[in-house]
């Protein structure tokens, strides 16, 4: 997800129908520049080299989101007879329409990862392993991070609120707990619910849920956490 203002000009985007390394390419209607949806960068056209500001977002189930944010407004999208046209693609072993450009067998091609790009350092977290661990304390480019896994997805946050680095562990209640203060935290919103830090919110890190082959095609030197 990105903010769509560039140099003070609000752009409107559409799907170009083009692919680069099996990744969707957008275009803006104002200049007809082409943009990578994975990196948020303009790769061709008058705005080539420009970069959209990433907005933090979480891929999760509606039930989990509604518990954390009960006042959320929803953009209607369902219609009678709706079906997922990609079910067959998700079920088979095809690595994209164009085929896999690079091979990396640390994970299967269609294993899902949560990818982050911190200070130009890419790192991917195997989603299945994150869900199993529930809490992953890590450091990328000297930035302390925590990845919270749920049954639905994963969220990534800085773990240094107020310049104090915290270490997290799982809590029996389904929340997370920091070792330094014993405060409990909501894994979806990154907000402290109880304890000395109640009301504090961790800074979210923009992340992307992707197939492993798609992430690796763009970031062949990526680090990988797989438990």
- Closest of 116, 123, 110, 139 to residue 58, by C-alpha: 116
The pLDDT of residue 99 is above 70: no
Question: Would you say the pTM of this structure is higher than 0.95?
Answer: no
Contact predicate 197/178, CB 8 Å = yes
Average pLDDT of the chain is: 89
Predicted local confidence at residue 195, as pLDDT: 96
- Please give the class, per CATH, of domain 112-225: mainly beta
Contact predicate 227/133, CB 8 Å = yes
User: What does the pLDDT look like over 44-68, one tens digit per residue?
Assistant: 999 999 999 988 887 778 887 888 8
Q: Which band of pLDDT confidence, cut at 50, 70 and 90, is reported for residue 12?
A: very high
**Which two three-digit tokens encode residue 4?**
């769509």
Q: Which band of pLDDT confidence, cut at 50, 70 and 90, is reported for residue 14?
A: very high
Contact predicate 10/3, CB 8 Å = no
- Closest of 156, 161, 203 to residue 181, by C-alpha: 161
Q: Where are the beta strands (DSSP E) in the chain?
A: 5-6, 9-10, 13-20, 23-28, 34-36, 42-44, 112-118, 121-126, 135-140, 143-149, 154-158, 168-170, 176-178, 184-185, 192-194, 208-211, 223-225
Contact predicate 118/208, CB 8 Å = no
Predicted local confidence at residue 31, as pLDDT: 96
DSSP, collapsed to helix, strand or coil, labels residue 37 as coil
Q: What is the mean pLDDT of residues 4-17?
A: 93
| Domain edges within the chain | 5-44, 112-225
Please provide residue 216's backbone torsions phi and psi, each rounded to the nearest 5 degrees. Answer: -70, -35
Q: Which residue has the higher pLDDT, 64 or 139?
A: 139
Predicted local confidence at residue 86, as pLDDT: 67
Predicted local confidence at residue 23, as pLDDT: 80
**Which two three-digit tokens encode residue 217?**
């095609």
Q: How far apart are the first and last CA of the chain?
A: 27
The pLDDT of residue 79 is above 80: no
Which residues sit opposite 147 in a β-bridge?
136, 156
**Which two three-digit tokens encode residue 121?**
């350092």
Q: Which residues fall within 8 angstroms of residue 82, CB to CB, at 6 or more apart?
A: none
């Amino acid at each position: 997800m990105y903010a769509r203002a560039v140099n003070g000009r609000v752009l409107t985007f559409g799907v170009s129908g083009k692919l680069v390394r099996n990744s969707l390419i957008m275009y803006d209607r104002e200049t007809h520049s082409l943009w990578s949806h994975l990196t948020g960068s303009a790769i061709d056209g008058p705005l080539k080299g420009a970069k959209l500001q990433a907005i933090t977002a979480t891929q999760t189930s509606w039930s989990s989101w509604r518990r954390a944010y009960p006042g959320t407004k929803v953009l209607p999208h369902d219609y009678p007879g709706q079906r997922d046209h990609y079910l067959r693609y998700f079920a088979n072993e095809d690595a994209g329409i164009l085929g896999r450009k690079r091979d990396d067998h640390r994970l299967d091609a269609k294993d899902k990862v949560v990818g982050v790009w911190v200070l130009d350092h890419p790192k991917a977290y195997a989603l299945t392993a994150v869900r199993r661990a529930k809490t992953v304390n890590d450091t990328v480019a000297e930035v302390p991070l925590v990845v919270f896994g749920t049954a639905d997805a994963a969220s990534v946050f800085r773990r240094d609120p107020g310049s104090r680095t915290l270490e997290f562990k799982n809590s029996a209640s389904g929340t997370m707990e920091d070792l330094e203060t014993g405060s409990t935290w909501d894994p979806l919103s990154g907000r402290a619910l109880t304890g000395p830090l109640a009301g504090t919110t961790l800074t979210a890190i923009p992340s992307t849920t992707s197939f492993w082959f798609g992430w690796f095609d763009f970031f062949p030197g990526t680090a990988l956490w797989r438990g």
